[in-house]
Amino acid sequence: MTQTLQSAKGLRLIAHFDLCTGCEICQLVCSERLFGGFNPRLAALRIEHRRENLVHEPILCEQCHNPFCQNVCPVQAISLDEDTGARVIDPDTCIGCGLCASYCPRQVIVQDRESGKSVKCDLCNGDPLCVRACPTGALELIVQGGDHA
């Protein structure tokens, strides 16, 4: 079974929970890119460990078509990146109120501990590090229409 995510530009990020070992390498590379350190709690994706740690499900930003995070932002700091189709947060505009994080149904928006501002998945400019780092192929970036990125 897969979790299929679709961006405005036709990129789709897919998680195959049945291939995920829960190694958290995806979270480590994400946190390193976003904050310069390896801390899974600071990644813009998370892994749910269930069934006595037998099932590991990557939880990814869905780059929603009707994004709650963007809709509740009081300063319009979240917008659509036309190049990647990702919803991105402008750190210069974000006031760090945390509304986006509290309304994200996937709980994948994190707060920068130093600035207090929100950070979310921006698809790494169309080449997600989490996908490249996953040793089992549990994460995939697919171009809409069936071509794999």
The mean predicted confidence, pLDDT, of the chain is 89
The per-residue pLDDT for range 71-107, each reduced to its tens digit, is 999 999 999 988 888 899 999 999 999 999 999 999 9
The type of residue at 33 is R
The beta-strand segments (E) located in the chain are 2-6, 11-16, 46-50, 55-59, 78-80, 87-89, 110-111, 118-119, 139-143, 147-148
Q: What is the reported pTM? A: 0.85
pLDDT digits (tens, 9 = 90+) for 24-53: 999 999 999 999 999 999 999 999 999 988
Please answer whether residues 122 and 84 qualify as being in contact, where contact means their C-beta atoms are separated by less than 8 angstroms. yes
pLDDT at 12 over 90: no
**Banded model confidence at residue 147, pLDDT cuts 50, 70, 90:** very low
